[in-house]
């Protein structure tokens, strides 16, 4: 897959996951700041930024290890700290699967 096609696909996946986040009440720009399903504040511009207090990443709703799909409807936007915390709790045997 060409780089341009990969970047377009990533942007489409990000937008689909971002659309499943919750608006922050009466925020001036409801698209820029949202809340993930755990209530963590995330910011669109901080995708992939683990140095930001609002950084977020794509996460599978149903994990691939549990036969979760890689389709966009199985992705969600989650704060990076929530993903990192869960990763540390997953047994190593499951991570290798």
Q: For 55-90, what is each residue's pLDDT tens digit?
A: 999 999 998 888 888 888 999 999 999 999 987 765
CA dist 53 → 11, 29, 56, 88 (Å) = 21, 18, 9, 19
With beta carbons less than 8 A apart as the criterion, state whether 24 and 33 touch. yes
Confirm whether pTM is higher than 0.85. Answer: no
The structural domains of the chain, with segments of one domain joined by +, span: 3-96
Each residue's pLDDT tens digit, 3-28: 767 778 899 999 999 999 998 877 65
- Per-residue pLDDT, 68: 87
* Cα(35)–Cα(5) distance, integer angstroms: 29
Question: Using CB atoms within 10 A of its CB, is residue 3 exposed (0-12), middle (13-18) or buried (19+)?
Answer: exposed
């Amino acid at each position: 897959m060409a780089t341009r096609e990969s970047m377009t696909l990533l942007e489409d996946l990000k937008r689909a996951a971002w659309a499943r986040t919750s608006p922050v009440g009466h925020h001036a720009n409801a698209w820029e700041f949202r809340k993930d399903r755990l209530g963590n504040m995330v910011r669109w511009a901080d995708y992939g930024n683990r140095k930001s207090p609002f950084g977020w990443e794509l996460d599978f709703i149903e994990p691939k290890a549990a036969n979760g799909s890689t389709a966009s409807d199985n992705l969600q936007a989650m704060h990076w700290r929530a993903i990192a915390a869960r990763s540390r709790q997953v047994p190593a045997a499951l991570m290798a699967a």
